Structure formats: C-alpha cells, structure tokens
Structure 1
Amino acid sequence: MHVYKKAILLFTRRFHPVAAPWLPCPWHCVIVSAPSISNMATVNKKRKVDCEGCRFQDRWKLDYFFTEIQNNCVCLICQETVAVLKEFNIKRHYQTKHASYDKLTGSERGEKVKQLEAVLTAPQRFFTRARESNENATKASYEVTTLIAKHCKPFTEGEFIKDCVMTIVEKICRSKKQEFANICLPRNTVVRRIEDVSSDIKRQLEAKGTEFDFFSLACNESTDASDTAQLLIFLRGVDNDMNVSEELLDLQSLKGQTRGTDLFVSLCFAVDDMKLQWNKVTGIITDGAPAMAGERSGLSTLVCNKVSEEGGSAIKLHCIIHQEVLCAKYMKYDNVMKPVIKAINYIRSKALCHRQFQQFLLDIQAEYGDVLYHNDVRWLSRGSALQRFFSLREEIGQFLTKKGQPMPQLNDPVWLADLGFLVDITRHLNALNTSLQGQNAVVSQLYSHIKAFRTKLLLFQRHQSQAQPNTAHFSSLQEIMTSFPQKNISAQMTKYAADISSLVEEFQQRFRDFAAIEKEITLFPSPFSVDPDDAPDHLQLELIELQCDVEHRSRHQQLLLVNFYRQLDGGRFQAVRTFAKKMLSLFGSTYMCEKTFSVMNINKSRMRTRLSDSHLRDVLRIKTTALEPDLDYILQSRSQYHPSH
C-alpha cells in the first residue's frame, strides 16, 4: 500500500461570521491525511496461524480419528475439515462431535480407524482405477494404431481388430471384457492417433537434428496413384558421439511442375521446417533424372550452391544402385532377350495356355512350376527370368512345339551359348545389386563392392581371352559347352571377352563421381594403410600421429570402424574425427527412397486414392522410422483420459 493523501471535500453551506461575514454560503475544503503504511501495518496486521509450520501428527489418527489428505486435516468419522492444523482444534472437534468413540480402545480402536479410512478412500480408489483403466486403454489404442501404420493397413482395420479381440476375450477372459471394450479403434480415432504419433516422431527428429554435426540428403521423386508428384527426402545425420540416424525428413507433394527449381523450393521448406542448418550439409544423392542431377538447374546443383552460400561444402552423388542397373542394361543381347520374352509372354498372356503349361510342368515333375515375367523396372527381374527360362528350356521347347509354336533357337548351340553367358553375367550383376541394397550402409562399403566387382570383371575377361577359355565362374555357359562338345563354341569366347571389357569401361565411366572422392573413401576405413602424402593437407599431421600410435593401431583391428573413431581423443585428433563424421554422414544410394516408394504404392493404391497427402506422410514416417513414439509424452497433454480421444 502506498502512502497517499486523500482530499475530502466537505460540502457544507454555512455562515462564517469571523472569516467572511459578507459570504453567506462559503465552501470549506478540508484536507485529511490518510494513515501511513507503517501505521496501517501496525493496526491491521493479523496472525496467520495457518503458516506457523504445524504438522500432522500420526498419533492424531488413533487419538482423534483424523487423517491428512492433500495437506488438509480431515475427520474420518464425519469427513469434515479442520481449518487450522492445531491439536487443540482437532481435539475440540472430536470431543464435541464424536466423544462416543472414547469407548473404543486398543485393537478395537485401531480396526475402526482402518474401516473408516477404507470408507474415505473408496471413491478416490474408484476414480484412480477408472483413470488408470482409461489411460491403459488409450495407450493400447495408440500401440495398435502404430502397428496398423507400420503394416500398411487401411485405417478401417482398427474396427476389425477390435472385433477379433472381443471375440477372443469373450471365450478366454470374460471378466476383462469391459476393459477391452474401452479400447477405441474406429477409423476417425485411428486417424487422430496416427497424426499424434507422427507429430511426436517429428518432434524427436527435430530434437535430434539440433545435435547433428553433419548430415546429408537423399532425394527421389515419383508419382502416386492419384497422379500427384511426391518428393521423398531422407536425411542421414551424425552427432558428436558418432551416432548415425537415417530418417524420413519429409514427403513433399507437388501439384504442378517438377522442375529442379520446384523440387528445390520444396526441399528448402522441409529443411527449414526441421530447423536444420544448411552449412552442416555434406552431400546430396539423387537418381540421374535431369530435374535431379542437371548441371545448371538440377536439384543437387542448387543444393550445393545453397550450402556454399551458407559457408559449407557439399558433394553431389548419383545413386550407386541406379548406376549399377544402368551398367547391367548395357549388356543388351537382344538376340537372346527378344525370343525369351516372346516365349514367356506367349505362355503367360492367355489363362488357358498358362494353366496347361503349369500342368505340363507338374506332370513331368520339372524343377520349377512356372516361368517368371520380365519387368524392366525391377532391378533383379531380368536375371531371375533368364535363370528360370534356362532351367526350363527343354520343357519350354517341348510345350511350344506341342502348341504349334516351335522355338528353333533352343536347338542352336551358339544361341544357347549366348543365353548361358547372359544368364551367368546377369547372375553376377544381381549378386552385386543385392549387396548394394540395405539401410545404414556406409559409402565406403558400397564403393568397395563396386571396386571388387570391377576386379572380378577383369578376371572374367582374362579367363575368356585364354587359348583354352576358363568357364569356372560361368556355370550355365559351361553346361552348354558340355552338352554340345562337337560344336566349336569356343569361338564365341572372344566375343564374350570383348563384351566384358566394354562392361568394365561402362563401370569406370558411370562411377566417376565416386572415383573423384576415392582417396577420402579409401582413407576412412583404412587410416593406417594410406600414405599421408595422399591424404588432404589438413589431415596429414594428425594422420601421422595416428599411424605411429601402436595402441590405436591395435584398437583399429579390434573395434568396429565407428567405435574406433568414436574413442579417438577429440582434442588430439579433432580433424580426423571431423573427417570421419563427414564420411559417416554421406548416403551412398537412394535405397531408402526406393523402398519407401514401394510402401507408398501399397498405402495409396488404386483402392485408396482418397488418402490425403498429409496422412500419407504420417504413415510413411511411422513405417520408416527407427524412433519409438513416446506415448507418455503424447498423453501428458491430456488432463483426463477418454478412450475415444
């Protein structure tokens, strides 16, 4: 309270003969001083007995039938509350209203206290159990919803799951029927749950993003069932402890054009929305489409320019799997592929013919029960279709002859030799493709597979160029040569050696972007076997110290590569650790994008074209993430639990 003056005007009309006899009706103004704050404190100060630090004594429970609930002293008998926590007040209440309980003594009095406590806390326990039941039902609903998203099921599957659960409960544990009935899984609730889980995963990823020292981006674009262009953006980040995270950054839907500038605008929005710093970007990897890899206005070029403007440095790479597929397509062999595809299409295009062929294979107990379609889009389709055709070539020849569609190539040793060679080389290419697939692959591992395969091709070339060709690694070709010993198939070996040589050149041409950073790729897994002169200047001194340290050399042989770099002293080997984090952050392929597009096609199929872009993003984020949704955090915002909310 502030010191103040209060003016009180006393309006009194009266005559003042001494002061002004000529004024019959003067106004008198009287100034009255209000009491100061010190005086008021003295006058109005009261004792606050509730702040004197009184505490509830346990003996009051037995002596006066009182208990403490939320800092309030409550009578167990009448459930009234005593305002002031003092024994005098409690005793007075007891003696005034419940003196008849004095007759209870000893154990009898203690039992009565327990009974009264049970009566008092019964409603509280009821509401606590109800809240726990609702909380458990809500958590169970979130768990089931997460499984629905992870298994790419429609949102309406929740009701079907609920019916299945209730049927099981009815037969096994009928007493728990109501608790299971509280689990709410209708379509609208499942949608809300998926939105909540996706938002929580995004929150966790945003928190992780603040800890990233470096990260790279993997981007690919495809069209969904509703003809909407979808840009998938994955990030691979590394923190100071060398922990690597591969997560879906965003799914951006484009309704208009998909030029490099359009993709770049969407990518910038996703990066900025996640509050990531552009100067921490170490690279971007895409497929070879012009909008992605164009030299002037391609997405990867625009990203590298943006990183340079922000003070960073990024490299652009072409997906290593896509380049391997393009190399495999270099081996066309149309003289083999066209007759094979024609025969397969004839067998499988008509239902009757297909059934007859399957029954024919069953009757003769063939090794396989059918031929495989060739799909040029699928990476391993060509090799699988050729391998199956080669295994069933005799049965296919008999069936086609029976149907009046003979295939004369099956009796030509040279054509069969070409078929055998193509089967073998595609089998080796398929093995390479399979080794390049997978999540969390380090770029040095992927490039080592490419280098190893290139070395194998050189070996195959030498074997085919010999005077006595070596077909040890070409089992199908060897089988044809054994089946037709009188035919001079060896003349074809020169052709095969030339084709392998051309394939080697194609590999060298395709992987120029990886070859440009081959020194860094080699240094990362083998820091002790690289000449310091071949290392970047800023790493040479620390690399010499590292190579001369016997203890670190021993650890490099014993520990995983990531763990080895993780245990290096940050002060002594700061540049080496920074280099390792940059290499760990690089994507080597867009495998995660391709895998996620397959998931997208399952979720947004022609039967579910009404699935919105935002809900598609939520489902893909839940499906691809390695993070676990924090249900406790999600439910913290709820003041009360209701199974349907």
Structure 2
Amino acid sequence: MWMTPKRSKMEVDESRGFRSEWTQRYLVVEPPEGEGALCLVCRRVVVAASEPDVRQHYEAEHGYYERYVSEGEREALVERLRRGDLPEAAPLTPEERAARAGLVVARLLALKGSGWGEGDFVYRCMEVMLRDVLPDHVSVLNGVDLSPEITRQRVLDIHENLRSQLFNRAKDFKAFSLALDDQAFVAYENYLLVFVRGVGHDLVVQEELLTIINLTHYFSVGALMAAILEALQTAGLSLQRMVGLTTTHTLRMIGENSGLVSYMREKAVSPNCWNVIHYSGFLHLELLSSYDLDVNQVINAVSEWIVLIKTRGVRRPEFQALLTESESEHGERVNGRCLNNWLRRGKTLKLIFSLRKEIKTFLVSIGATTIHFTDKQWLCDFGFLVDIMDHLRELSVLLRVSKVFAAAAFDHICTFEVKLNLLQRHIEENNLTHFAALREVTDELKEHLKEDEKIFEPMLKF
C-alpha cells in the first residue's frame, strides 16, 4: 500500500496529536475546532487522534484512493479534495456490496466468538426488521449469503489474510518479544495466547496475536515449547532475535526447573543472541495475591455458591448482575477452574461480597450448607481478600494505561510497595480505614455479639 506504517515514538504528543504527514498519507486535515482528524473525503471527524485510528478509517472507507501512488498525484488529490472536487470512485456492484456485507458480519461474529451457524439467525433478524421498517427493501438481502458454510469460509479467509500480513512483517523484524497468557478460557477449555511485538530496521513497532494453543492438548511444558517454536518458525522468526518475554506468574510459566521460561532461555542461548529479559506477573496483575496468599479456602466456597446459583437459582433478579457478568466471561456453562480464575478478580469478588446476605438466604432456601456464614475467621478472610484484590486492581489499572513509560510504571510499583507497608501497620494497629469490606464484617460481628449479650443478660441476672 502507499502509506508507510506508524513509527513508534516515545513522545506522547506525537503519538496522540495530529501530524502533518497524515494529510497526504490518509487524506485528513486538522479540524478548525476540537481534537481529532477531519477526513477530506467524507468530511467526518476521526475523534481519536492516533495513527491506528486514522489509518483504520482510511483503509476501511477510502481504499479506492490507493491508486494515487506518486507524491505528485497525492498532492494534486489533496488540493482537489480541499476545493471540494471529489474524484468519483467506481461504484460497487450489488454482488460486491453483498459480499462486503457478508464479510463484515462474519468478522463481527468472529470477534464476538459466536458460532458459524449464527449467521442464519442474523439474516432472519435483518429480514424481520426490513419487512416491518422498510418493506420495499427486503430484496436487498437476496444476494447476502450467511449460511454456516459460507460464514465459516469467510472467517477462515479473514484469518489467513491476517496471518499472511503478520508473516510478511515478521520476516523484517530485527528483534522481538513474546507475551504468554495462560489464563484464557473458552467454555471448559484453557488456552495459551502467544502475542508477538517486533521492531524492524526502520523502528516500526508491530504487535499481533501469533498463535493460540489449547492447553488441554499441550499440557506438558515440552509440548508447549514445541508448539511455540513451530509457530515462530512458521512466521519466519527465530529465538535468537528474541529480547524479551512477558508471562503470568503461574508455575507452568516460571517454575525454576520445569517452567516454560527456563526452557525458552535454554533454546535462545547462542553466541549471537540477545540477553532475554523476563517480566513476570504484569499479565493479570489481579492474580498476584493468589500466588502468595492461600485464597483457596475462600475462592472454592464462593465458586460453589456460583454453581448453585447458576444451576438452581432460576435467574433470580437479585443475582442478575452477577450472572450476566459471569456469562460474559465464560458463557452459560459452568467450569470450576474458569470460575476460580474469574473470582480472583477484585471487581468480581467485591460484587459477590455485596450480595453475601442474599446468597445466604438463597442457600437456606435450597437446603445447602451455610457454615461459612457462622465462621468468624472465614468471614474476616473473605473481607480482607476483597480489600486486597481491590487495591491490586487499582494498581493494575495504572499499569495498563497505554504508553506508560517504564520509569512511570516503576514509580507506581514503588508507591504501591509503600502503600502495602502502610496497610500492614494499619492492620497491626486495628485501623481498618483502608479495609472497607473487612471493617463491614467486623462491625456486623460486633453487632451480633451485642445481641448475644442482650440475650444472655437475663440468664446471668437469674
């Protein structure tokens, strides 16, 4: 294509503000008022003034103007567009429009994770809407084929196109790093997501999903290593060019003798290779506390509650928000391992904590055990875990912001370390200012103790 890809710069202003070279490259100008980029072709404003957003708009809406290749042709084109003299693009035929609509629907289904058979349902929905709203235009759907076979082929075509683009760019990488995320779940199965971030000789940075590995089929570290090496070889990459590795903090990744990181470092050893820098725990920061704290006693009990609510709750209104969030994470089916990872997130655990009274009432109604609600130590552990997860979630949000410099991330971590020391002193002094959930539990326990004393007071007098 005519335009060159984005150069990664350290300055925030350059990465977010309008740049003059975009005018010829993407046919946009800086709007007279406000931020963003004004498209000279459709006169729409691209609100997010970052190059990927501007490039995506240009490629999706105005790819016709790629035929103006030379610099002189682009300058003349920009001047014509400024005067409002819009070159006429070749109109799409009905068959091309139908094919384009089918590809867009297939892409949306793939992004949503829906099955190929959902295309037929989408078609019926559109047909019903057109019959009621625009009955004269129902015939436009005649050329749109959303059958499972065609949708499957379109999704596979999109996949192959994206892979070919990645492989074409990857062969020019001078150095790259990998990110390995083994906390991805789809229904009952656990997957490893392998992301690659590479830089070419022109300092252009590219980030893409390299491959997805089913951990059910590749359970051992040796099998995982072989699958990753195969994906790298297919993309034309070698471990000798790997400079960084980011993983979760699980034993599968960082085990001293049998972890995937140690395997990869051994494979990357050669006289010409870089010293591989390993970052652990930055992926799914909210899970860090579960590696250093024994949270299974709380998480397993709460997981059992969720299973009972999903299987015997019959969509009770008080649990609607909880069930909606649960199904958005792993679907309607229940998987214990997936639930355990989902519950380790501070936001989710906080929601369940706020519903603990309703959950207790529900458990009593179905005859399930409520022993945990009478265990003072367990309730305090539950409240403490909710508070710690919430503090970790706040740190995770700070580190997840785009374009965070390493120095700024380090400052956030050091600040959080000081905060942990402060929280420890507060706990030792019985100061629960920064422990809202634990304070709520202790207040309830104190209230129950007072009620018990009132009950036994007449007996003591007797």
For the aligned pair, the TM-score class normalised by the smaller chain equals: 0.5 to 0.7
Of 209, 232, 240, 1:271 maps to 232
How far residue 425 of structure 1 moved from its aligned partner, in angstroms, is: 3.0
Is 1:140 aligned with 2:101? yes
Is 1:319 aligned with 2:281? yes
How far residue 164 of structure 1 moved from its aligned partner, in angstroms, is: 3.5
Of 320, 342, 361, 1:378 maps to 342
Is 1:217 aligned with 2:181? no
Is 1:150 aligned with 2:114? no
Q: 1:191 is matched with which residue?
A: 152
The whole-number CA distance in structure 2 between the counterparts of 1:399 and 1:293 is 39
Is 1:206 aligned with 2:184? no
User: What is the DSSP-based 3-state SS (H/G/I as helix, E as strand, rest coil) of the residue aligned with 2:342?
Assistant: coil
Q: Do the aligned residues in 1 keep the contact of 2:170 with 2:235 (CA within 8 Å)?
A: yes
Closer/same/farther in 2, CA of residues 149 and 323 from structure 1, 3 Å limit: closer
How far residue 378 of structure 1 moved from its aligned partner, in angstroms, is: 1.8
How far residue 396 of structure 1 moved from its aligned partner, in angstroms, is: 4.0
Q: 1:425 is matched with which residue?
A: 388
The whole-number CA distance in structure 1 between the counterparts of 2:109 and 2:195 is 22
**Paired amino acid for 2:247:** T
How far residue 470 of structure 1 moved from its aligned partner, in angstroms, is: 3.2
Aligned length: 347
Q: Do the aligned residues in 2 keep the contact of 1:328 with 1:426 (CA within 8 Å)?
A: no
User: What is the DSSP-based 3-state SS (H/G/I as helix, E as strand, rest coil) of the residue aligned with 2:113?
Assistant: coil
Closer/same/farther in 2, CA of residues 441 and 399 from structure 1, 3 Å limit: same
Structure 1: gaps spanning 5 or more residues: 1-127, 489-645
Closer/same/farther in 2, CA of residues 349 and 169 from structure 1, 3 Å limit: closer
Closer/same/farther in 2, CA of residues 458 and 133 from structure 1, 3 Å limit: same
Of 101, 116, 122, 1:161 maps to 122
User: What is the DSSP-based 3-state SS (H/G/I as helix, E as strand, rest coil) of the residue aligned with 2:426?
Assistant: helix
Closer/same/farther in 2, CA of residues 460 and 181 from structure 1, 3 Å limit: same
Closer/same/farther in 2, CA of residues 233 and 444 from structure 1, 3 Å limit: farther
Of 407, 414, 421, 1:458 maps to 421
Q: 2:50 is matched with which residue?
A: none
**CA distances 1:411-454 after superposition (whole Å, capped 9, x unpaired):** 96x77656544443343234445555688877666555443322
Closer/same/farther in 2, CA of residues 246 and 388 from structure 1, 3 Å limit: same
Q: Do the aligned residues in 2 keep the contact of 1:287 with 1:322 (CA within 8 Å)?
A: yes
Q: Do the aligned residues in 2 keep the contact of 1:215 with 1:237 (CA within 8 Å)?
A: yes
Closer/same/farther in 2, CA of residues 443 and 208 from structure 1, 3 Å limit: farther
Q: Do the aligned residues in 1 keep the contact of 2:177 with 2:242 (CA within 8 Å)?
A: yes
The whole-number CA distance in structure 2 between the counterparts of 1:147 and 1:269 is 29
**Paired amino acid for 2:282:** I
Closer/same/farther in 2, CA of residues 232 and 140 from structure 1, 3 Å limit: same
| TM-score using structure 2 length | 0.57
The whole-number CA distance in structure 2 between the counterparts of 1:231 and 1:343 is 26
The whole-number CA distance in structure 2 between the counterparts of 1:169 and 1:481 is 59
The whole-number CA distance in structure 2 between the counterparts of 1:256 and 1:395 is 37
How far residue 317 of structure 1 moved from its aligned partner, in angstroms, is: 3.3
How far residue 171 of structure 1 moved from its aligned partner, in angstroms, is: 5.3
The whole-number CA distance in structure 1 between the counterparts of 2:303 and 2:112 is 37
Is 1:473 aligned with 2:426? no
Report % sequence identity: 22
Q: 2:78 is matched with which residue?
A: none
How far residue 235 of structure 1 moved from its aligned partner, in angstroms, is: 0.5
Q: Do the aligned residues in 2 keep the contact of 1:424 with 1:477 (CA within 8 Å)?
A: yes
Q: Do the aligned residues in 1 keep the contact of 2:183 with 2:190 (CA within 8 Å)?
A: yes
Closer/same/farther in 2, CA of residues 345 and 311 from structure 1, 3 Å limit: closer
**Paired amino acid for 1:475:** A
Q: Do the aligned residues in 2 keep the contact of 1:229 with 1:258 (CA within 8 Å)?
A: no
Q: Output aligned runs, 1:241-252, within 5 Å.
A: 243-252=204-213
The whole-number CA distance in structure 2 between the counterparts of 1:346 and 1:258 is 26
User: What is the DSSP-based 3-state SS (H/G/I as helix, E as strand, rest coil) of the residue aligned with 1:217?
Assistant: strand
**Paired amino acid for 1:315:** I
How far residue 376 of structure 1 moved from its aligned partner, in angstroms, is: 2.4
Q: Output aligned runs, 1:404-553, within 5 Å.
A: 410=374, 420-433=383-396, 448-466=411-429, 469-479=430-440, 484=446
The whole-number CA distance in structure 1 between the counterparts of 2:205 and 2:230 is 23
How far residue 456 of structure 1 moved from its aligned partner, in angstroms, is: 0.9
Structure 2: gaps spanning 5 or more residues: 1-89, 327-333, 451-462
